[in-house]
Structure 1
Amino acid sequence: MSPISFDPTALAAALKQAKARMPADSLPAPSTIAEAFAVQAITTADAPAEPGGYKVARSPDGIAVTGRLLPLHIADAATFPWRAGVAIEAEIAIRLSTALPPRTEGYSRDEIVKAVDSVHLGLEVLDSRLVEGSKSPYLLFLADRLGNAGYLLGPTLPLSALDAVAGTPLEITLGDEVIFADAARHPAGDVLAWLADWANRTDRPENSLAAGEIITTGSLCGAVPLARAGALTIVLDATHRLTADFAA
């Protein structure tokens, strides 16, 4: 008997229409990264073309992956919906001035830096459509855009932040409560590591990493849960400030 092929439209429809989080075992799961990306493409097909933004990450097997940032706000502040289980990440994002199309010889870190137009402090909102969130089967979580539920592109940072943000004081408050206070750290050590992985995937879409695209590079604090709605403030190095509201 021939194996039943995966239909990305069924999973995409379930993810788009979800009002409550769904158990992972109630959904058809992709079996390859390509199938997970096909689901992402369907769920984001009617999203605005601009601004275009993506998060970069590594699969458990070390393969470069991405997820569309939706909605993506470019403003001084933004309001996001809150519900139990929502978490946030403070991140470094970049906007490209020069496209980095796929090529066989790949890109050096210096070439990627030269393609950067601006560096920003960013806020990613995490609210998976899956009950198990990031603990779901990985390809299902990837199809769910790696749990992304929104992004706020914040103030510009000096280009040197790409090299020097590690160890910088980072504080996050919700209302009057400090919910994170520690040195900024990227899981890979280098904030450009996962972007470089993606840039050097020769099989990524031809139009990926286009000029003007916004890429968020990974958390500086891990996923920080929000126990309630309220006003959120992120302060990096006691100087760079980003604010957002979470409304129940």
Structure 2
Amino acid sequence: MTDATRFFDAADVARRFATATDRIAAAELPLPETIAEATAVQAAFVAPQDATAAGYKVAHSPEGVGVAGRLSPIAIAASDAPPAVFRWREGLRVEAEIGVRLASSLPPRQNGYSRDAVIAAIGAVHLGVEVLDSRIAEGGKAPFLLFLADRLGNAGYALGPELPRDLLHGAEGRPLDVSLGGATLFSGEAHHPAADVLAWLVGWANETQRAEDTLAAGEIVTTGSLCGAIDVASPGRLDVRLDARWNLPVRFE
């Protein structure tokens, strides 16, 4: 089949992800050939309730290109409300992260954005928990563009308590604890893979080929794990505590 006759059905791939009861082998799925095709799958594969709370996780491709995966579903945690609930199944993992909500838009532009310009667009900084549960059997070991179509494995996000803005500069090395039903899953220092929680957000902001409506005012962006991906071996209440001051509980059922 030549490029001229090739047809990639993003809506069909999204439907297969949304309706699968078990993880799907990568070999059984058509492969997107471009970031645009992968993000078209993402756009068709989000929960209806997220229409008023759009959000993304930022990362980079193996070639170093800034990319993002849609967050869905998104739960806005309130201090006086029960913990947000997500579905549990074997193989589920979580990441403790810094999330931000944009106060102003960062549309694609040729001259790009400095780190300070991205910070100026941020309205609030939060503690967050990303839920990882890929619809692909191989997960992150699948071909990258297929994993990107799968929202980089995202299966939900909880936006927790607001944090001081100085954590955009000083999250590294802060005490971080993650527990499930009181049992410790992680206890150590917070560390972002790029040693800067804003590195991947700035990288994606400066990708001129991203959609015009991305990084819009009001959107939530989670910036990358501070503890790696942690296995959640059973249902229960998970607590993330940063700097012994801020706590975000979620429940898996």
Q: Normalized against structure 1, the TM-score is what?
A: 0.96
1:180 to partner: Cα distance: 0.3
CA offset digits 1:154-187 (Å, max 9, x no partner): 0011000000000001000001210001100000
1:203 to partner: Cα distance: 1.6
Structure 2: gaps (5+ residues):
none
Do structure 1's residue 2 and structure 2's residue 2 form an aligned pair?
yes
In the alignment, which of 41, 44, 47 is matched to residue 42 of structure 1? 44
1:7 to partner: Cα distance: 2.4
Q: CA RMSD in A?
A: 1.3
CA offset digits 1:70-107 (Å, max 9, x no partner): 11010232011111000000000001111111111111
The residue that corresponds to 2:143 in the other structure is 137
SS of the residue corresponding to residue 48 of structure 1 reads helix
Whether the 8 Å CA contact 1:169–1:236 is kept in 2: the answer is yes
Whether the 8 Å CA contact 1:11–1:29 is kept in 2: the answer is no
1:47 to partner: Cα distance: 5.2
Aligned runs of 1:177-216 on 2, under 5 Å?
177-216=183-222
Whether the 8 Å CA contact 1:96–1:117 is kept in 2: the answer is yes
1:10 to partner: Cα distance: 2.5
The residue that corresponds to 1:92 in the other structure is 98
1: CA distance between counterparts of 2:247 and 2:64? 33
In the alignment, which of 5, 14, 18 is matched to residue 16 of structure 1? 18
Q: State, as a whole percentage, how many aligned pairs show the same letter.
A: 54
The residue that corresponds to 1:160 in the other structure is 166
2: CA distance between counterparts of 1:88 and 1:45? 19
Whether the 8 Å CA contact 1:15–1:129 is kept in 2: the answer is yes
2: CA distance between counterparts of 1:2 and 1:213? 39
**Aligned letter for 2:2?**
S
> Runs of 4+ in structure 1 displaced over 3 angstroms?
45-48
1:45 to partner: Cα distance: 8.0
Q: Normalized against structure 2, the TM-score is what?
A: 0.94
Structure 1: gaps (5+ residues):
none
Aligned runs of 1:81-120 on 2, under 5 Å?
81-120=87-126
The residue that corresponds to 1:30 in the other structure is 32
The residue that corresponds to 1:51 in the other structure is 53
CA offset digits 1:1-27 (Å, max 9, x no partner): 535332223312211111111111111
1:46 to partner: Cα distance: 4.4
